């Protein structure tokens, strides 16, 4: 019997609904993402584009009236090799850091250190260093 590993190579993208389409594109570009697929108008009230940072893609779905799921992912996690450097980088750029300090959990072999920032639509973006 095949497992998910047999049929999938990993995360493809995360979708985010927003009624603040242009502002959200700008937010993620400032964070370091690039638009890799320009806006496609799906209907009179829906447009879509894809943003990418390294191997992480976001499908941004802009709607004129936001559905109940606006900003509704638990979080988007970005890997980092230096969580302190990421903390400083986010603070210097004025992002809203949701943690009062870098967090640590005893996950994986040696643990992880992480913190989260707030996105424009109420979503959370995690910076995570596997120790």
pLDDT tens digits, 5-62 = 876 777 778 888 888 899 999 999 999 999 998 888 888 888 889 999 998 889 888 8
Which of residues 50, 70, 90 is at a domain's end? 70
Which of residues 48, 70, 92 is at a domain's end? 70
Q: Which residues pair with 58 in a beta bridge?
A: 14, 51
Same domain, 47 and 80: no
Same domain, 66 and 90: no
pLDDT: is 99 or 76 the higher one? 99
Same domain, 39 and 78: no
- Predicted confidence at residue 71, as pLDDT, reads 55
Same domain, 36 and 58: yes
Can you give the residue range of the structural domain that contains 82?
Answer: 74-131
Please tell me the total number of residues recorded for the chain in this structure: 131
DSSP letters, 88-123, are HHHHHTT--B-SSS-EEE--TTT-EEEEEEE-TTS-
Q: What is the pTM of this model?
A: 0.70
Same domain, 85 and 33: no
């Amino acid at each position: 019997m095949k497992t998910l590993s047999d049929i999938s190579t990993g995360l493809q993208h995360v979708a985010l609904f927003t009624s603040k389409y242009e502002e959200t594109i700008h937010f993620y570009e400032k964070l370091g993402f690039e638009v890799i697929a320009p806006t496609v108008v799906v209907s009179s009230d829906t447009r879509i584009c894809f943003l990418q940072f390294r191997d992480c893609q976001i499908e941004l779905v802009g709607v004129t009236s936001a559905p109940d799921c606006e900003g509704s992912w638990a979080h988007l996690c970005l890997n980092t090799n230096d969580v302190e450097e990421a903390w400083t980088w986010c603070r210097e750029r004025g992002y809203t850091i949701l943690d009062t300090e870098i967090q640590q959990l005893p996950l994986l072999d040696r643990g992880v250190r992480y913190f989260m920032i707030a996105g424009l639509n109420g979503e959370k973006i995690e910076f995570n260093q596997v120790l």
